[in-house]
């Protein structure tokens, strides 16, 4: 897979802009205005270069691209391609200054989302608490947000008390050296949201999470946020330290003078590199000056464990007033720590492990809490930084690693030691994947929201209601009681599965709703331990379920063309499946043309009409294809219709093709 991706990436860089979604448009220098759909600062006036030097902003050779003057030879060919692409794309702002300004705004939003998400959540809780004190009543908040608000202040105060103890030099608590790197309010928010996210998405059962897994993730999130917080704090201090009082200006020592000169030289060097658009070298210098020492996994677990312990001790829950009756209020802990036993049939051994369980009242509100969760590693509003090393690439500030090693030190060190020449094709492939611009298909999302608001149960969406538990039989017959217990167990299992699926859907829809008004966004990719590429954002991505794939589409559209129109019909038949996908290409085209009335009805009235699209194996992708094909066929010139439709192709092989190749069996080749 990597060979093919690397070849595609390399050939794209060598060719003269065959795919306009990967590069800015070009024009003749000093004579024509730039048409630049991507507001990159790398091309402030004219995006002109030899094709082999064309890169995104952030590549080290952008300066060479700008300085290159050998452009006349390729000019005519580039202009022809530009004319073709101009007909196929939406109107783009021709002003490079406004494009650059737009990019800066998006980048500013991206930096803010990466660096201030937890701080914003902490400020929101502080403001809500202040409102409650002033008005002496609880604000009208959703159920889970009111729970978070109730837990926030006691947890923050407990963390503050712990931080005061850690400041004592005689304190011997294992987490003490790291516990004051982040303010208490931000630590409280990180702890609550991270634990709730784990409880929502845990594969071992919704409402439970392994202690070690939760401690690792909470500790890692706290360290990541602490690193960003300390960096920002240092930057503010450096800015303020440059203002020297008049009476002290002549009293600088020789050592301070040398340090000041060194810092001045570094700043000038960074400024010069940034001016030449050599952003990666500049970032390398800045990172070299970063004196942050990594905690390590052991310290992360210690910090995460202590924060979980404080949350368990301070978080309580009370049933609603309508469930209490006339009795006293039933206030009980929201979380508890228990032990579970894992048995292995092969080794006939048992192993115990710690688990965090939430109260049933908390579990009932989990699926409604997705929209109030802080979700890090969201899709990026600007193109990701290109990968150049193990931890150099992807997000602007959030820690990013090219491989998910899950604490495997040997694997991490092996990747770091690997020669750069071997990793370059992998980096290039990941950069190509990350440079694809996506957007939300609002029509499909609107249909999904309607189905979900009405209880689900359509298009493979889970039922939002639980299965009612059977009543206990009024009998002493042991067989009947045993049968009832088995039914109760099966119903509980079914309800747990439904609850898990509902939480998963809520998280995906929360991301889709947040990104639906964006013009486009990007998915940074990295590798798993096998070398397979995956988006770093875990919920809504193009490798997900039919729901995710139906919601997402390419931001940059292309004219269908004559062949594209035929392939769109084939693609729709493939999505419908049910044996249709096994027909010949002509047979699939004929199937689509025979169901044009159903396709138009699905596009116009997806829920009020005949609902033909619901019969497809991939209903939401089929609905998106019906909409796109309807637009094309109703257009005066279907071939020129702009399509944003991604076509997912299966690259797997079950081995039959190998046997067919060995036996030169043409029929077996297509099985």
DSSP letters for 494-540: HHHHHHHHHHHHHHHHHHHHHHTTSS-EE--EEE-TTS-EEESS-SS
pLDDT in the model for residue 233: 76
Instruction: Name residues whose C-beta falls within 8 Å of residue 53's C-beta, 6 or more positions apart in sequence.
Output: 61, 64, 65, 68
Query: pLDDT band for position 643 (50/70/90)?
Result: very high
Cβ contacts of 244 within 8 Å, gap of 6 or more? none
Which domains, and CATH codes, for the chain? 2-94 (no CATH), 119-239+261-372 (no CATH), 557-657 (1.10.287.280)
Other CB atoms within 10 A of residue 90 CB: 10
pLDDT in tens, 490-501: 998 888 888 888
Q: Considering only residues 144 and 296, tell me which one the structure prediction assigns the higher pLDDT.
A: 296
Identify which of 435, 542, 385, 426 has the alpha carbon closest to the alpha carbon of residue 22: 435
Question: Per-residue pLDDT tens for 581-618?
Answer: 889 999 999 999 999 999 999 999 999 989 999 999 99
Mean pLDDT value across residues 499-512: 87
Identify whether the C-beta of residue 621 lies closer than 8 Å to the C-beta of residue 575: yes
**Which pLDDT score, from 0 to 100, does residue 284 have?**
54
pLDDT-derived band at 37 (thresholds 50, 70, 90) equals: very low
Among 550, 541, 542, which residue's Cα sits nearest to residue 447? 550
Whether residue 352 is predicted with pLDDT greater than 60 in this model: the reply is yes
CA 7 to chain centre: 27
Mean pLDDT of the chain: 74
Reply yes or no on whether the pLDDT at 17 is more than 90: no
385-396 per-position pLDDT tens digit:
999 988 888 888
CB of 383 within 8 A of CB of 391? no
pLDDT tier for residue 131 given thresholds of 50, 70 and 90: low
Name the H helices within 136-253.
143-167, 184-201, 211-241
Instruction: Please state the rounded mean pLDDT for residues 315-324.
Output: 69
3-state secondary structure of 373: coil
Distance, CA of 28 to CA of 47 (rounded, Å): 9
H or E segment to which residue 437 belongs: strand 437-440
How many Cα atoms within 13 Å fall on the side-chain side of residue 553?
Answer: 26
Distance CA 514, CA 512 (A): 5
pLDDT, tens digit (0-9, with 9 covering 90-100), for 140-157? 556 667 777 788 888 888
Lowest mean pLDDT among 348-357, 524-533, 606-615: 348-357
Contact 175, 299 (CB under 8 A): yes
Output 12 or 523, whichever has higher pLDDT: 523
How does pLDDT run across 410-434, given as a tens digit for each residue? 888 888 888 888 899 999 999 999 9
**pLDDT of amino acid 652:** 61
pLDDT in tens, 252-287: 444 445 555 555 666 566 556 555 545 455 555 555
Does the global pTM surpass 0.85? Answer: no
Is residue 669's pLDDT more than 60?
Answer: yes
Instruction: Give SS3 for 380.
Output: strand
Rg, C-alpha atoms of the chain: 29
Exposed e or buried b per residue across 145-172, where buried means at least 16 C-beta atoms within 10 angstroms of its C-beta: bebbbbbbbbbbebbeebbeebeeeeee
pLDDT at 279: 47
pLDDT attached to residue 343: 65
**Distance of alpha carbon 68 from alpha carbon 53, whole angstroms:** 9
pLDDT at 5: 38
The better pLDDT of the pair 286, 234 is held by 234
Q: Is the pLDDT of residue 346 over 50?
A: yes
Give me the pLDDT at residue 318, please: 77
Q: How would you classify the pairing of strands 332-333 and 392-394?
A: unpaired
Report the pLDDT averaged over residues 162-174. 80
Of 12-16, 59-63, 87-91, least confident by mean pLDDT is 59-63
- Tell me: pLDDT of 25 over 90: no
Residue 479 pLDDT greater than 70, yes or no: yes
Mean pLDDT of 182-186: 86
Q: Which of 333, 415, 421, 397 is nearest to 117 (CA)?
A: 397
Q: Does residue 534 have a pLDDT over 90?
A: yes
Of residues 82 and 43, which shows the higher confidence score?
82
Give residue 95's pLDDT: 44
Percent of the chain whose predicted confidence (pLDDT) is above 70: 66
User: How far from chain centre, in Å, is Cα 665?
Assistant: 44
Is a pLDDT exceeding 80 seen at residue 367? no
């Amino acid at each position: 897979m990597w060979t093919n991706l690397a070849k595609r990436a390399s050939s794209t860089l060598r060719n003269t802009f065959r795919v306009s979604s990967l590069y800015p448009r070009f024009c003749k220098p000093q004579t024509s205005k730039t048409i630049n759909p991507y507001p990159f600062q790398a091309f402030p006036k004219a995006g002109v270069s030899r094709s082999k030097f064309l890169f995104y902003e952030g590549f080290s050779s952008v300066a060479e691209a700008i300085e290159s003057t050998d452009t006349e030879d390729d000019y005519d060919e580039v202009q022809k391609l530009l004319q073709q692409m101009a007909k196929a794309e939406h109107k783009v702002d021709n002003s490079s200054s406004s494009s650059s300004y737009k990019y800066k705004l998006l980048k500013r939003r991206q930096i803010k989302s990466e660096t201030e998400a937890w701080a914003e959540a902490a400020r929101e809780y502080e403001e809500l608490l202040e409102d409650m004190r002033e008005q002496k009543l609880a604000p009208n908040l959703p159920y889970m947000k009111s729970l978070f608000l109730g837990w926030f202040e006691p947890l923050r105060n407990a963390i503050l008390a712990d931080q005061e103890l850690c400041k004592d030099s005689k304190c011997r608590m294992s987490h003490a050296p790291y516990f004051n790197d982040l303010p208490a309010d931000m630590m409280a928010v990180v702890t609550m949201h991270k634990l709730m996210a784990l409880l929502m998405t845990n594969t071992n059962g919704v409402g439970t999470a392994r202690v070690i897994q939760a401690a690792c993730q909470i500790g890692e999130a706290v360290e990541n946020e602490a690193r960003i917080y300390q960096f920002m704090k240092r930057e503010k201090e450096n800015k303020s330290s440059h203002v020297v009082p008049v009476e002290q200006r002549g009293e600088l020592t020789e050592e301070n003078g040398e340090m000041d000169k060194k810092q001045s030289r570094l700043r000038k060097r960074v400024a010069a590199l940034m001016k030449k658009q050599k952003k990666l070298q500049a970032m390398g210098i800045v990172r070299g000056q970063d004196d942050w020492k990594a905690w390590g996994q052991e310290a992360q677990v210690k910090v995460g464990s202590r924060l979980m312990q404080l949350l368990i001790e301070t978080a309580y829950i009370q049933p609603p007033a309508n469930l209490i009756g006339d009795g006293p209020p039933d206030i009980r802990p929201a979380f508890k720590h228990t032990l579970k036993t894992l048995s292995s049939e092969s080794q006939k051994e048992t192993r115990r492990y710690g688990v965090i369980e939430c109260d049933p009242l908390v579990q009932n509100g989990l699926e409604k809490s997705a929209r109030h969760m802080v979700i890090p590693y969201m899709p990026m509003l600007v193109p990701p930084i290109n990968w150049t090393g193990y931890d150099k690439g992807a997000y602007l500030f959030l820690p990013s690693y090219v491989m998910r090693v899950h604490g495997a030190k040997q694997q991490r060190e092996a990747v770091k030691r690997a020669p750069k020449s071997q990793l370059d094709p992998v980096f290039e492939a990941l950069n190509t994947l990350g440079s694809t611009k996506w957007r939300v298909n609002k029509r499909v999302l609107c249909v999904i929201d309607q189905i979900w608001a009405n209880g689900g149960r359509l298009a493979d969406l889970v039922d939002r209601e639980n299965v009612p538990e059977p009543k206990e039989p009024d009998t002493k017959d042991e067989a009947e009681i045993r049968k009832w217990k088995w039914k109760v167990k099966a119903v509980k299992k079914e309800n747990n599965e439904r609850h898990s699926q509902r939480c998963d859907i809520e998280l995906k829809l929360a991301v889709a709703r947040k990104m639906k008004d964006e013009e486009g966004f990007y998915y940074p990719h990295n590798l798993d331990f096998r070398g397979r590429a995956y988006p770093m954002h875990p919920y809504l991505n193009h490798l997900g379920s039919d729901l995710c794939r139906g919601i997402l589409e390419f931001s940059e559209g292309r004219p269908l063309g004559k062949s594209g129109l035929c392939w769109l019909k084939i693609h729709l038949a493939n999505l419908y499946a049910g044996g249709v996908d096994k027909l010949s290409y002509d047979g699939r085209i004929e199937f689509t043309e025979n169901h044009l009335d159903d396709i138009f009805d699905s596009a116009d009235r997806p829920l009020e009409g005949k609902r033909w699209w619901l019969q497809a194996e991939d209903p939401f992708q089929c609905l998106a294809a019906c909409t796109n094909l309807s637009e094309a066929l109703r257009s005066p010139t279907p071939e020129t219709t702009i399509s944003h439709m991604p076509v997912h192709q299966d690259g797997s092989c079950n081995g039959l093709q190998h046997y067919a190749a060995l036996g030169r069996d043409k029929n077996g080749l297509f099985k």
